[in-house]
Amino acid sequence: MLYPMSILNGEGAKTEFTGISFAGEGQNLDNGFKAVHNAKNTSSVVNAKSISKNGGKCTYRSQIKINESAEGAKSSVSCDSLMLDDISISNTIPVNEIKTDDVEFSHEAKIGKISDKAIFYLMSRGLTEEDAKSMIVRGFAYPVSKELPLEYAVEMNNLINLELQGAIG
């Protein structure tokens, strides 16, 4: 379980959370982020992604609390989940508590599977099925990896490749 938190007490304070989780067989990953806006013109941006395979379970919990004192606050939450088979599970549990009208707030959650049409298209361009699926998963993870320093992004892609070797299907 991973659940970091930011408390925004100073005017104009900002926080950003970007994360990715990958649950495989026998794993139940429970993670999320909490932001509390206590001051004017604060902002929070949350970009979370999860991938589950072989019956793995990913649960994402977010809590955004914008108090009365946080006029002009802005918050954006995006939670995307990709399931690589029919037995994996993905949950998104948002809790949003907005106590002022002077706020910009958005929450988006998407849960899906790899498209058979996308795999077919990539295979028609010469990729194997496994390579096509790996490319789609790396593309799904790209918004997170592009925020990392280069050496960490390369390592993340290598870890994704290791997780996917022969495991998708």
Could you state, in order of their start, the residue ranges of all structural domains in the chain? 1-113, 114-169
pLDDT at 168 over 90: no
Specify the higher pLDDT residue, 136 or 163. Answer: 136
For the entire predicted model, the pTM comes to 0.83
For the chain, give the percent of residues with pLDDT over 70: 96
Q: What is the pLDDT of residue 147?
A: 82
At 163, is the pLDDT very low, low, confident or very high (cuts 50, 70, 90)? confident
Q: What is the pLDDT of residue 5?
A: 96
Q: What is the pLDDT of residue 169?
A: 42
Q: What is the pLDDT of residue 42?
A: 98
What 3 state SS string does the chain have? CECCEEEECCCCCEEEEEEEEEECCCCEEEEEEEEEECCCCCEEEEEEEEEECCCCEEEEEEEEEECCCCCCEEEEEEEEEEECCCCCEEEEEEEEEECCCCEEEEEEEEEEECCHHHHHHHHHCCCCHHHHHHHHHHHHHHHHHCCCCHHHHHHHHHHHHHHHCCCCC
Q: What is the pLDDT of residue 164?
A: 74
Over residues 27-86, the pLDDT tens digits come to 999 999 999 999 999 999 999 999 998 999 999 999 999 999 999 999 999 999 999 888
At 100, is the pLDDT very low, low, confident or very high (cuts 50, 70, 90)? very high
Q: What is the pLDDT of residue 132?
A: 87
Q: What is the pLDDT of residue 45?
A: 96
Q: What is the mean pLDDT of the chain?
A: 90
